[in-house]
């Protein structure tokens, strides 16, 4: 059986099959094209460009760096979200790190968005885009403490919308998209995995959000379980509830909030409080390397000042495993304070060999002598 497909541009419109024995076999037409002009896609592209232009203009007029303005205007910053700025779940999808980031995402949005908007219509397309972008920010909030901006999570959501289209119309999906969608996803997720600057959690969250949002806006309530609106509503609510509960109460975000308090104790020289909260953070076993480095450094310093040298040495040795240059330097300082000059010299020389940024190493080595 051969199939003939009618399409608008690269987008499927309806199908009609040809039976070699009986001629054309009529089937119900599938209402694929909802709108001809993808207006919302162009509006979103315009908003992205306007926001980049606005921040660049403000930066040039005020002298404030573009990156600082990104933080001010709504980048995903976990500690700010924990402190109540929940709007940062949605605003990052309209901000971009630089002109290259902007152009790549605008091109991708045009390439995918025009097709998805024609299939789903203006309103449903916008709902899918916003839900996908928001869920991408939420998964990034849960699993990554790094600041993030960019429309890529929402764009991955549009790919998720095409995957949902494949669930509803598998034959059309194979004919017009086929394995190309899966190849695009594999390449982009793979590249995001090896490039540490890319927030893959945001991409995965957006992909899931776009797929589920498509089911919510498109599936009937009384269809098969995998084509039922209720299924997608339950799934997305479960992901949102569990993700937000974990993000606000456990994991690295909880440690990040406590780290802010540790910084205040360090700045105010409340050393006993710093020792206590530092140990509390370490007991949480945060998985983020940078959090552990910061906490170990401040805690060991506070322990030295409060005379807890044994604990300080153990924490400094742990720091060596995570950041050798900082760990060896800190161990050298501790041993120097303890009068164990041979050990101090050994550790300071190791730090110097690693191109330590601390300027007083040579002075300490001269004081130790031979």
- Out of 96, 140, 203, 214, the active site residue is 203
Identify whether 108 is a catalytic site residue.
no
Q: How far apart are CA 218 and CA 77, in angstroms?
A: 33
CA pair distance 133, 164, nearest whole angstrom: 17
Backbone angles phi, psi at 11, to 5 degrees: -110, 130
Distance CA 219, CA 227 (A): 6
> In the 8-state DSSP scheme, what is residue 93?
G
Residue 265's nearest CA partner among 251, 249, 276 is 276
> Which helix H or strand E contains 7, and what residues bound it?
strand 2-8
- Contact predicate 298/274, CB 8 Å: yes
Cα-based distances in Å from 306 to 94, 276, 303, 341? 48, 12, 5, 21
User: Half-sphere exposure of residue 158, counting CA atoms within 13 Å on the CB side?
Assistant: 24
Residue 137 is among the residues annotated as catalytic for this protein: no
The answer to whether residues 214 and 157 touch, using CB atoms and an 8 Å cutoff, is: no
Distance CA 106, CA 53 (A): 14
Rounded to whole angstroms, how far apart are CA atoms 140 and 148? 8
Select which of 108, 137, 144, 152 is catalytic.
152
Q: What are the catalytic residues?
A: 152, 203
């Amino acid at each position: 059986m051969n199939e003939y497909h009618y399409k608008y541009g690269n987008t499927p419109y309806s199908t009609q099959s040809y039976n070699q024995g009986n001629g054309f076999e009529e089937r119900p037409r599938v209402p694929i094209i909802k709108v001809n002009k993808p207006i919302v896609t162009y509006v979103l592209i315009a908003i992205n460009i306007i926001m980049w232009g606005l921040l660049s203009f403000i930066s040039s007029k005020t002298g404030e760096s573009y990156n600082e303005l990104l933080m001010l205007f709504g980048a995903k910053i976990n500690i700010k979200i924990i402190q109540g700025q929940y709007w940062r779940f949605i605003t990052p999808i309209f901000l971009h790190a630089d002109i290259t980031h902007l152009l790549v995402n605008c091109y991708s949005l045009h390439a995918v968005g025009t097709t998805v908007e024609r299939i789903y219509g203006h309103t449903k397309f916008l709902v899918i885009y916003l839900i996908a972008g928001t869920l991408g920010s939420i998964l990034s909030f849960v699993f990554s403490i790094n600041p993030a901006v960019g429309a890529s999570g929402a764009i991955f959501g549009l790919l998720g919308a095409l995957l949902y289209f494949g669930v509803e119309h598998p034959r059309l999906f194979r004919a017009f998209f086929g394995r190309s969608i899966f190849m695009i996803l594999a390449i982009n997720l793979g590249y995001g995995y090896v490039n540490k600057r890319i927030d893959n959690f945001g991409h995965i969250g957006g992909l899931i959000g776009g797929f589920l949002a498509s089911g919510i806006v498109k599936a009937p309530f009384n269809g098969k379980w995998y084509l039922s609106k209720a299924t997608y509503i339950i799934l997305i609510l479960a992901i949102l509830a569990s993700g937000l509960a974990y993000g606000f109460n456990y994991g690295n975000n909880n440690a990040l909030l406590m780290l802010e308090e540790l910084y205040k104790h360090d700045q105010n020289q409340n050393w006993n409080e710093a020792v206590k909260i530092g140990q509390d953070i370490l007991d949480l076993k945060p998985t983020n390397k940078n959090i552990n480095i910061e906490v170990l450094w401040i805690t060991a310093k506070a322990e030295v000042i409060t005379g807890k040298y044994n604990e300080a040495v153990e924490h400094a040795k742990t720091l060596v495993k995570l950041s050798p240059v900082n760990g060896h330097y800190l161990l050298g300082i501790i041993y120097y304070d303890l009068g164990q000059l041979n050990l101090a010299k050994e550790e300071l020389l190791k730090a110097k060999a690693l191109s330590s940024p601390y300027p007083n190493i040579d002075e300490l080595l001269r004081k130790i002598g031979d």
